[in-house]
Homo-oligomer: A and B are copies of this chain.
Amino acid sequence: MKIQDVGTPALVVEASGLAHNLDAMAAALPGSRCRPHVKAHKTTALAREQEARGHRNFTCATPREMEGMARAGLGTDLLLANEVVDPDRLRQLAALDARVTVAVDSTATIEAAAAAGIREVLVDVDVGMFRCGCRPDDAGRVADAAREHGLEVRGVMGYEGHVMSEKDRETRARLTEEAMQLLLRAHGDVGGDVVSGGGTCTFDINTWATEIQAGTYALLDTEYAYPDLPFRAALSLEATVIAVSDGWAVADCGLKSLALDHGNPTVVGGTVWYCSDEHTTFSPDRPIRVGDRVRVLPAHIDPTVAKHERMHIVDGDTVVDTWEVDLRGW
């Protein structure tokens, strides 16, 4: 099948770009040095490609991602890098045929995890992002409380997410070191083998974490396409031109198929004017006709992928595989 025969809007993954990105990461951070984050692609078939390159430990953001990974036989070592206090969801996680570790950062999250039968945890530390995680100075006390509740404390995690948007590598490196000094101080009080952190934009800067939770690198978006990173944009949307007017055209993809939280998408061969629910209005660089196909690059892949039921893997124009985005939802 050709990509031109697939109904639009459709997620398209360039097989060569994906392989390049996965290979680059596996070479730089082999095996357990990278714990790929599945929230970025929500697709067990893609996680299997990461596993085939040696990464057996994965990071998840939602219980449903954990459950789907375990069901797909990818449950060697799953980290829920997020706080959950829902007793039902935690019990479901504890019952999985998988090694399950969850993040805790407070008495409430510890009590909920222990009551549900969760066995292993990481202490989540806020390293400057103003989100979840205890203060570095409290990490030792959180670890003590977890152990008192019978939980095995494997170490710490802290995500320097506030650093990712720094385009200047030197600044990014300085801020990463500051964040990781906080995490290492916490680790000194907590103990355990694991110091989990990092992401796509700090994968080769963050030398303090024992494992890097990178997700975006596999498919990449325009937001994180920094010149100092060895990854390529491998994901786009295939869209159809449905209207052409004097000076602008309209493609059949809009904000229901593209996430706008990191800004407008990029139309290859055109300039985006605006997106509405089902449409992207743009000025094309050259004459275009109704029925023509255009490629659109999302600014943020994670929530874009989450809007789609499947992604088509292409080699040139040929669809070589179609993967279900089977970890959607929460």
Q: Using a CB–CB distance below 8 Å, which chain A residues touch chain B? A: 7-9, 39, 61-62, 82-86, 88-89, 105-106, 108-109, 112, 126, 130-133, 135, 161, 240, 242-246, 248, 250, 252, 255-257, 259-261, 273-279, 281, 289-291, 302-303, 306-307, 309, 329-330
Are A131 and B261 interface neighbours, CB within 8 A?
A: no
Known: A61-B277, A61-B278, A109-B290. 20 other contacts (CB 8 A): A83-B242, A83-B250, A85-B240, A106-B290, A108-B289, A108-B290, A126-B245, A131-B250, A131-B281, A132-B243, A133-B243, A135-B246, A161-B276, A255-B261, A255-B303, A257-B330, A260-B260, A261-B275, A278-B330, A307-B307
| A250, B132: Cβ atoms closer than 8 Å | yes
Query: For residue A132, which residues in chain B have a CB less than 8 angstroms away from its CB?
Result: 242-243, 250, 279
Q: Using Cβ atoms and an 8 Å threshold, which residues of chain B touch A257?
A: 330
List B contacts of A306 (CB < 8 A). Answer: 256, 307
Asked if residues B277 and A302 are in contact (CB atoms below 8 Å), the reply is yes
Q: Which residues of B contact A84 (CB under 8 A)?
A: 242, 252
A126 to B250, CA, bound (A): 12
Q: Which A-B residue pairs are the 9 nearest by beta carbons? A: A108-B290, A83-B242, A132-B243, A260-B261, A255-B261, A61-B278, A85-B291, A256-B306, A256-B303
Indicate which residue in B108, B131, B252, B261 contacts A279 across the interface (CB closer than 8 Å): B131
Chain B residues whose C-beta falls within 8 Å of the C-beta of A112 in the assembled complex: 291
Q: Are A278 and B62 in contact (CB under 8 A)?
A: yes
Task: Pull 22 A–B residue pairs with CB atoms less than 8 Å apart, ordered by A.
Answer: A7-B86, A83-B250, A84-B242, A85-B290, A86-B240, A106-B244, A130-B248, A130-B273, A130-B274, A131-B243, A131-B279, A132-B243, A132-B250, A133-B243, A135-B245, A255-B261, A256-B303, A257-B330, A260-B260, A261-B275, A277-B302, A306-B307
Interfacial chain B residues near A277, Cβ < 8 Å: 39, 61, 302-303
Interface contact B61-A7, CB-CB below 8 Å: no
Given contacts A260-B261, A303-B256, A306-B256, contact A131 B276 (CB under 8 A): yes
Which residues from B are CB-within-8-Å of A82?
Answer: 242, 278
Q: How far is the CB of A329 from chain B (nearest CB, A)?
A: 7
Which residues of B have CB within 8 Å of A307? Answer: 306-307
Tell me the smallest distance from the CB of A241 to a CB of chain B, in Å.
Answer: 9
Q: What distance in Å separates the Cβ of A165 from its nearest Cβ neighbour in chain B?
A: 12
Cα-based distance from A302 to B307 in the complex (angstroms): 13
- Shortest distance between the CB of A263 and any CB in chain B (Å): 11
CA distance A242 to B112 in the complex (A): 11
By a CB distance below 8 angstroms, the chain B residues around A252 are 83-84
For residue A239, give the distance in angstroms from its CB to the closest CB of chain B. Answer: 11
Complex CA–CA separation, A36 to B123 (angstroms): 50
Within the complex, the shortest CB–CB distance from A10 to chain B, in Å, comes to 10
Chain B contacts of A126 at CB under 8 A?
245
Chain B residue contacts of A261, Cβ below 8 A: 255, 260-261, 275
